[in-house]
Amino acid sequence: MITTTELTKRYGNFTALDSLTMQIDKGTVFGFVGPNGAGKSTTMSILATLLNPTSGSAQVGGYDVTEKPKEVRKLIGYMPDFFGVYDNFKATEYLDFYGASYGISRADRMKLIPQLLDLVNLTEKADFYVDSLSRGMKQRLCLARCLVHEPEVLILDEPASGLDPRARIEMREILKELKAMGKTIIISSHILPELAEMVDEIGVIEYGKLIAKGKVSDIQSRMKANRVLQVRMANRAEEAVVYLQQQPHVTMVLQDEKGLHVHFGGTDEDQTNLLARLIQNGFPLLSFSEALTNLEDVFLEITKGGGAHDEQQVKLD
Ligand SMILES: Nc1ncnc2c1ncn2[C@@H]1O[C@H](COP(=O)(O)OP(=O)(O)OP(=O)(O)O)[C@@H](O)[C@H]1O
Residue 74 backbone phi and psi in degrees, to 5: -65, -30
Please tell me whether residues 99 and 186 are part of one structural domain: yes
So what's the pLDDT on residue 157? 92
Give the residues across from 31 on adjacent strands: 187, 202
305: alpha, beta or left? (left if phi > 0; alpha if psi -120 to 50)? left
Please tell me whether residues 277 and 185 are part of one structural domain: no
Please tell me whether residues 121 and 150 are part of one structural domain: yes
pLDDT along the chain (317 residues), means of 10: 96 94 93 87 96 97 96 93 76 93 92 93 93 87 92 92 79 86 89 68 88 74 76 94 96 93 91 96 95 62 47 34
Order of strands, sheet of 63-64, starting from the edge strand that comes earlier in the sequence: 14-24, 2-11, 55-60, 63-64
Please tell me whether residues 127 and 235 are part of one structural domain: no
Query: What ipTM does this complex have?
Result: 0.95
Please tell me whether residues 203 and 237 are part of one structural domain: no
End residue of a domain, out of 165, 199, 215 = 215
Please tell me whether residues 76 and 175 are part of one structural domain: yes
Does the Cβ of 39 fall within 6 Å of ligand 1? yes
So what's the pLDDT on residue 108? 93
Please tell me whether residues 156 and 103 are part of one structural domain: yes
Query: Is 7 inside a domain boundary?
Result: yes
Q: Among the atoms of ligand 1, which is closest to the Cα of residue 190?
A: 25
Q: What is the pLDDT of residues 72-96, one digit of tens each?
A: 999 999 998 776 667 788 999 999 9
Does the Cβ of 51 fall within 6 Å of ligand 1? no
Please check whether residue 18 is in contact with residue 55, taking contact to mean a CB–CB distance below 8 angstroms: no
Please tell me whether residues 108 and 36 are part of one structural domain: yes
Please tell me whether residues 70 and 207 are part of one structural domain: yes
Does the Cβ of 50 fall within 6 Å of ligand 1? no
Containing domain of residue 210, as a range?
2-215
What CATH number should be reported for the domain holding residue 57?
3.40.50.300
So what's the pLDDT on residue 268? 87
Please tell me whether residues 234 and 128 are part of one structural domain: no
